[in-house]
Structure 1
């Protein structure tokens, strides 16, 4: 569970590790960015975010390949990685976090409600993580946001360890 204290520690650790962060959000609609910026001092690490709800925005602003979106759909691990990398490029950040998935109430592009991918990019390399959340639309979005922040904490912790 995210707390004010844990978020403040995340921001402090990112600043100490000289990490800059950007977000690319579809499913969460800006919730990850909003969670980060509620912390005083977050401007020391958070560069900005792009809410890319439509595929055309994923293409234009994040550089996600149109053929990738047409072939695989927006809810895909490769798309999550491309979004995270695109956030880094667009904002000049070392770390990018992306969210894409189906919040419901209906399945989308053959994916069930609650099927989510979170992409994490760090210094030009990206990895995606697959989740199957339960609950209503809001619960799925909150769970995805919490997991995205948790993944961000892991990246920041690992980068801080490398810096020592």
Structure 2
């Protein structure tokens, strides 16, 4: 967890310095990203909140992800991750939305292999998604997904991203 806390400290600091707020929509990480950010001193100045969207009904009803998209591609998909990030950004009034969806195992899900993870990011510049393939047990994969989400958040908060 130490690496996660280090990433969270950097993200909180950068968000505070930039005057930006963040919200998270989490499926397989089930609140881990939000919790690690909230563990960081100063988080109250940048963290709007989080939505644990474990079920597809929450992805559609709370985050506004298209039910047709979910029916067509399943919950583990880049477009779903991007939609979750955009939805939580809008729902919680944040500058940046970050989202996680994937397969922690032990069984594959929606035809996707264990360890398949998508991180979605939404900001004023638009939305994007990034695919990962992690290995290990459920806890390992969830931890790696949390780390990847924090890294993507840091990318959005980097001075290059903010000046573009």
Alignment TM-score, normalising by the size of structure 1: 0.94
C-alpha distance in structure 1 between counterparts of 2:162 and 2:57, whole Å: 38
Q: Find the counterpart in structure 2 of residue 89 from structure 1.
A: 90
8 Å Cα contact 1:17-1:159 kept in structure 2: no
Shift of 1:158: 3.5
Alpha-carbon deviations, 1:126-156, whole Å to 9, x = none?
A: 1000001000000000000001001111111
Aligned equivalents of 2:10, 2:24: Cα separation in 1: 19
**Structure 1 residue 76 corresponds to structure 2 residue 72:** no
Residues 36-58 of structure 1: CA deviation (Å, up to 9, x unaligned): 00011101100000000000000
Deviation of residue 2 (structure 1)?
2.1
TM-score w.r.t. the length of structure 2 is 0.94
**Cα shift at 1:80:** 0.4
CA distance in 1, matches of 2:106, 2:63: 26
Gaps of 5+ in 2: none
User: Residue 6 and residue 32 in structure 1: after superposition, are their counterparts in 2 closer, same or farther (change >3 A)?
Assistant: closer
Q: Does 1:41 align with 2:42?
A: yes
- Distance in 2 between residues matched to 1:22 and 1:159, nearest whole Å: 21
For residues 97 and 142 of structure 2, what CA distance do their matches in structure 1 show?
18
Q: Which residue of 1 is the match for residue 143 of structure 2?
A: 142
Q: Is the contact between residue 85 and residue 124 of structure 1 (CA under 8 Å) also seen in structure 2? A: no
Q: What's the CA shift for 1:159?
A: 6.2
* Equivalent residues of 1:81, 1:127 under 8 A apart: yes
Distance in 2, matches of 1:2 and 1:27, equals 19
For these two proteins, the number of residue pairs brought into alignment is 163
Deviation at 1:35, TM superposition (A): 0.6
Q: Where do residues 56-135 of structure 1 align in structure 2 (5 Å cutoff)?
A: 56-123=57-124, 125-135=126-136
Q: Gapped runs of 5+ residues in structure 1?
A: none
